[in-house]
Structure 1
Amino acid sequence: MSEDVRSRPVRADAQQSIARILDAAQRVLAGDPSASMEQIAGAAGLGRATVHRHFPSRQSLLAALVGDLNARYRSAFDQARVMNGPPLVGLYRLTEMAFELKVSHPFVISLTPAEQGTGPASDPEIQDGLERLFARLHAAGEIAVGDPAWCRRLYVALLHEVHELPGGSPALTGAADAPDDDLDARVELLVRTLLGALGGGGEGGAGS
């Protein structure tokens, strides 16, 4: 048996350990941002030495959490088919996934840019993907503004503001046709507001 074959289970075990640590860190730090590495190790069901072998410092763990979230954002682009499907449908689907990530990764989302950059506001690949999506929306006549960078900045700002709205806010429930589901209501509010601001009709939906 070659050395490469023998080493594969070790690499798989390491990947599983890293995934467990990141999942535990997200859960523990969401409840207590000052939680220690030892607390995270306990929540992951791993020894302190194992955690420190993969993440020698708290900063390296935070960087890994950010990297994991950004990878999930990039995956969301592929799942939403924002580059090869109808652009308006892609916008709705991407927005839904972005809100889901904000809910499932509260600690990483809460980090300030000075600590770690996360998501569409900081990752160059995600920024580029958003700008290409808005260029497609403009070409399709869904929006009138032809500056993709400005559209991206507006979208990211709205994503934050709509996410911060408390449940049951009149902004979410006030429209006669507002969806009953909280997530759907946030997606609809953001997209309709964005299209209105960018010269779109604010009509249509995820299934249009």
Structure 2
Amino acid sequence: MGEMPARPLRADAERSVRAVLEAAERVLAEDPGASMEQIAAAAGVARTTIHRRFANRQSLIEALALSAARQLAQAVDDGRPDTAPPLVAMHRITANVLQVKGAWAFALGLPADPDSEAAVLQQEIDRRCVAVLRRAQDEKVIDAAADLEWVRRVYYALIGESLHGKADGSDADGADPDVLAARIIDTLLHGAGPRA
């Protein structure tokens, strides 16, 4: 364990890593078998640059998954889950998460090693989600008898389905994250039953 902490990257090195990860998301979403060389070309960096930063394709994939998980965790944080009123937090978090999941669908769909930092981040996101739902339950927005773990799973499923759009690839809501977030929260809290 006595490893030295990684030195911060120079700004230009950080930019090239970000460009590689963004290119990896685009390229691998189109062709999951794409090579490091194809990713380097799409990122506009030399093949040697990508190999210097990532020991192999697996390390690039792991870095991609971790970067996406960190962005997802930041999207949750930006919704102020602990301090904003629960419905406000749920709406903000949902809109933020839709944007991140839309941009990083391939990376966020990768199976995470249970011991990886990405998996730990996902567990923390799940925990924070249930905490917001508990706050909503305390304010009587969610039924007192509701199983919050089940509510979380339904909420995640609604987010996932909203990102798929219609069968023809279009989306009636125009993929506006705020409109979709309002629809998701409304469906989560009221289902498809008649309104009073």
TM-score over 0.5 for the pair? yes
Query: 1:190 is matched with which residue?
Result: 184
Equivalent runs, 1:1-20 vs 2, <5 Å: 11-20=10-19
Does the alignment pair 1:107 with 2:106? yes
Equivalent runs, 1:1-208 vs 2, <5 Å: 11-111=10-110, 123-144=122-143, 145-166=145-166, 181-183=174-176, 184-197=178-191
Residues 13-62 of structure 1: CA distance to partner in whole angstroms, max 9, x if unpaired?
43222112111111222232222100111222222222112211211111
Aligned-residue sequence identity (percent) comes to 35
Task: State the Cα RMSD in Å.
Answer: 3.3
8 Å contact from structure 1 (residues 135, 146) kept in 2: no
Number of residues of Structure 1 aligned to a counterpart in Structure 2 = 184
Structure 2: how far apart are the matches of 1:191 and 1:147? Answer: 17
Structure 2: how far apart are the matches of 1:146 and 1:118? Answer: 31
Q: CA deviation at 1:118?
A: 11
Pair 42,165 (structure 1): closer, same or farther in 2 beyond 3 Å: closer
8 Å contact from structure 1 (residues 37, 58) kept in 2: yes
Residues 169-194 of structure 1: CA distance to partner in whole angstroms, max 9, x if unpaired?
9xx75xxxxxx654244223211111
Residues 55-90 of structure 1: CA distance to partner in whole angstroms, max 9, x if unpaired?
112111111111111111111122111210111011
8 Å contact from structure 2 (residues 130, 148) kept in 1: yes
Structure 1: how far apart are the matches of 2:91 and 2:162? Answer: 14
Q: Normalized against structure 2, the TM-score is what?
A: 0.78
Ranges in structure 1 where 5+ consecutive residues have no aligned partner: 1-6, 174-179, 204-208
Ranges in structure 2 where 5+ consecutive residues have no aligned partner: 1-6
